[in-house]
Amino acid sequence: MNRETDFIGQSSAFLDAVERASRAAALNRPVLVIGERGTGKELVAERLHRLSPRWDAPLVTMNCAALPETLIEAELFGHEAGAFTGATRARAGRFEEADGGTLFLDELAMLSAGAQERLLRAVEYGEVTRIGSNRVLRVDVRIVAATNENLPRLAAQGRFRADLLDRLSFEVITLPPLRARENDVAVLADHFGRRMASELGWDGWPGFSAEALGALDAYSWPGNVRELRNVVERAVYRWDDPEAPVGVLEFDPFISPWVTETSEPKAAIAEDPQFLAELPAEGFRAACLTYEKQLLEAALEECRHNQRRAATLLMLSYDQLRHALRRHGLLDRAAQ
């Protein structure tokens, strides 16, 4: 497998999901892959295809959330010339393209009601009809679908066809979020770190400091493996000393002293007018600077004036921390 399709992990929850996918691959039955964003649903779909008897046939992917509702049916089933405005020539749909292979429908819950009805017929009878045509086409396609929605609940609410759900759920593979994969964060971080170090031309991989590993393990990872990869690769490429363990992480790259404020603070002030009475005489900017300085001093004290550890604690990059320390005249009080 290439670097984008590696399955990395050792937790039982992760290995159980991979094993279930491997067992289901050999069967010519539809599979639903359920999981939060960034858990690797597309990798499981590729595994289901590559380990199946269809491995040498097409694997066609369609993101149901990436197209407007008016175009989804045309993309799935194709259309004839003149079927609608802009259809200047006939075009095969994804079902025809995947004939003999696998069709991966990502974000399945975003399908329109009309597309769900046509999909049900395609799954049940292996027949599709291009928009603007009366000719029925026979196709041999295995369906793998993925979503992060609760499909049974959507079906109970009438927002997803219950009969289509029944037809697609021969096997349901639920991928665990990263926070539930015990000890896998360190394994994945090491993998992504080594890969980034190699890409940068480092002679070796120094690993992460104990503090950085602790921060990685304590984080909740709402973006799962995709977010972890970004955090690790960003930390490695910003690290200036390839000989020393990487010690600074930035979990939120949008945090900045110059970021535009949102409207949320205004709502808080409106709910509590007394908040304004607590501002210092110098006004809003002075209050922000005072609070920022207090945070910096507290972080330095907690980290015994080690800048890199303080940056990790505050979720700032090393350069951002030094800029803030310089602004408040604290730079000479902090150790490298």
* pLDDT tens per residue across span 11-69: 999 999 999 999 999 999 999 999 999 999 999 999 999 999 999 999 999 999 888 87
CATH 3.40.50.300 in the chain, residues? 12-176
Structure tokens at 290: 């005072």
262-336 — its CATH code?
1.10.10
- What is the spatial distance between Cα 27 and Cα 163, in angstroms, rounded to a whole number? 21
Q: Which of 182, 161, 158, 177 is nearest to 222 (CA)?
A: 177
Is the model more confident about 250 or about 270?
250
pLDDT in tens, 259-292: 665 544 444 444 445 555 555 555 666 777 788 8
Which pTM does this prediction carry?
Answer: 0.72
User: What are the phi and psi torsion angles at 245 (to 5°)?
Assistant: -55, 140
One-letter identity of residue 107: E
Give the pLDDT mean for 94-100: 94
- What is the spatial distance between Cα 295 and Cα 300, in angstroms, rounded to a whole number? 9
The fold for domain 12-176 equals Rossmann fold (3.40.50)
Give the pLDDT mean for 225-236: 96
Looking at the chain, the whole-number percentage of residues with pLDDT higher than 90 is 59
304 Cβ contact partners less than 8 Å away, ≥ 6 residues apart: 335
CATH 1.10.8.60 in the chain, residues? 182-254
CATH class for the region spanning 182-254: mainly alpha
Half-sphere exposure of 294 (CA within 13 A, CB side): 6
User: What is the distance between the terminal CA atoms of the chain, rounded to a whole angstrom?
Assistant: 42
SS3 for 146? Answer: strand
What pLDDT was estimated at residue 266?
A: 44
Q: Which of 249, 258, 271 is nearest to 317 (CA)?
A: 249
Q: Distances from the Cα of 309 to the Cαs of 1, 92, 214, 325, 334, in angstroms?
A: 37, 57, 12, 14, 11
CATH 1.10.10 in the chain, residues? 262-336
Q: Which of 163, 145, 176 is nearest to 42 (CA)?
A: 145
Is the model more confident about 203 or about 3?
203
